[in-house]
Amino acid sequence: MLFRRINRWCVVACLACATTLAFAASERATEALPVAEIAPGLFVHVGAVAPMTRANEGAVANVGFVVGSDTVAVIDSGGSVHEGRRLLTAIRAVTEKPVRFVINTHTHPDHVFGNAAFIGATFVGHKNLGRALAGRGMFYLDAFRRELGDDIMREVKIISPTQIVDGAMRLDLGNRVLMLRAWQAAHTDHDLTVLDQNTGTLFAGDLVFLRHLPVLDGSLRGWLAVIGQLAEVPARRVVPGHGPVADWPAALAEERRYLARLAQDVRGAIKGGETIAAVAKSAAQSERMRWELFDEYNGRNATAAYAELEWE
């Protein structure tokens, strides 16, 4: 039955978008995405702490850009081509320099669906990003057409990286070097961070969450190990994937506590013979009041953690 409701709803949305919405979208594309210059030449848009919805047009991840003396680098392109275009408008309000690089911190739709707004740039990602996009891209296009609607999804393209990072890489924007680092499986199996050396600002992608419950889509054991190494990164502040810009490395404390609690609870449950379905409801409940979107993602995290940790 629900299925039929969706059908009907889709048709209404699609017919509407064929007329008014498509026009409205192109008008709105000129509106700049609100950004803050958190360090000289380094701009950030802090996304809504929310799931991607039609109302927020998928604009939930933090996105940003760094301006060098020659070129601009974008770090994550947002959750729709519309958001990507608004980001480009925000860039143009600051500089006429070309956007040479679009760095994708990982494959999730809220970070890469804006890529098509920057066609012509070099797309930079972890060595495993292309594989992840291959495995998930078609599914994401299909699933988010359902969740965001055809209007928002029409122009979204899955764009694979043309420059890959295996280990570490320097990107020179002109008198400004970005240090890129590809990590072992943690939030995903293709997380990439970007350190702006001039200002000591770390774009951590979804290796760091604040306020928004961390989401596990890679390896819990890997993530806890990576947090230890991340803490050594010589930065003053962090732009997390979700949540406010914060001091570094103090910003790691909250998610480290949550992930450690999750691991401890799930290990205990596995040892006690509890089923994966039961653990989805019981693990890490002591963290519930400390995070937004806990009910949306904790069961998922516990499920993934169980499937990983039962092989220990």
Binding test (CB under 8 A) with other proteins, winner from 11, 22, 24, 119: 11
Q: Which is nearer to other proteins, 121 or 304 (CB)?
A: 304
Binding test (CB under 8 A) with other proteins, winner from 125, 137, 240, 243: 137
# binding residues, other proteins (CB under 8 A): 62
What tokens were used for 117? Answer: 């707004």
Query: Which CA distances in Å does 201 have to 15, 148, 253?
Result: 45, 32, 18
Question: 119 - beta bridge partners?
Answer: 121
Is 170 an interacting residue with respect to other proteins (CB under 8 A)?
no
Is 135 an interacting residue with respect to other proteins (CB under 8 A)?
yes
Is 269 an interacting residue with respect to other proteins (CB under 8 A)?
no
Q: Which is nearer to other proteins, 37 or 142 (CB)?
A: 142
Is 110 an interacting residue with respect to other proteins (CB under 8 A)?
yes
Is 131 an interacting residue with respect to other proteins (CB under 8 A)?
yes
Is 297 an interacting residue with respect to other proteins (CB under 8 A)?
yes
Question: 194 - beta bridge partners?
Answer: 180, 203
Contact partners, residue 294, CB within 8 Å, separation at least 6:
213, 287, 288
Binding test (CB under 8 A) with other proteins, winner from 84, 130, 214, 240: 130
Question: Which segments of 210-285 are extended strands (E)?
Answer: 237-242, 246-247
What tokens were used for 275? Answer: 């089923």
H/E stretch holding 91: helix 81-92
Contact partners, residue 59, CB within 8 Å, separation at least 6:
33, 45, 47, 48, 78, 79, 80, 83, 110
Binding test (CB under 8 A) with other proteins, winner from 32, 48, 51, 260: 51
Quickly count: other Cβ atoms within 10 Å of residue 131's Cβ.
14
Is 289 an interacting residue with respect to other proteins (CB under 8 A)?
no
Site string for other proteins, 190-229 (x = CB under 8 A): -------------------------x-xxx--x-------
CA atoms of 128 and 189, how far apart (whole Å): 7
Binding site for other proteins (CB under 8 A): 1-4, 6-8, 10-11, 13-15, 51-52, 108-110, 128, 130-140, 142-143, 145-147, 150, 158-160, 185, 188-189, 215, 217-219, 222, 273, 275-277, 280, 296-297, 299-300, 302-304, 307-308, 310-311
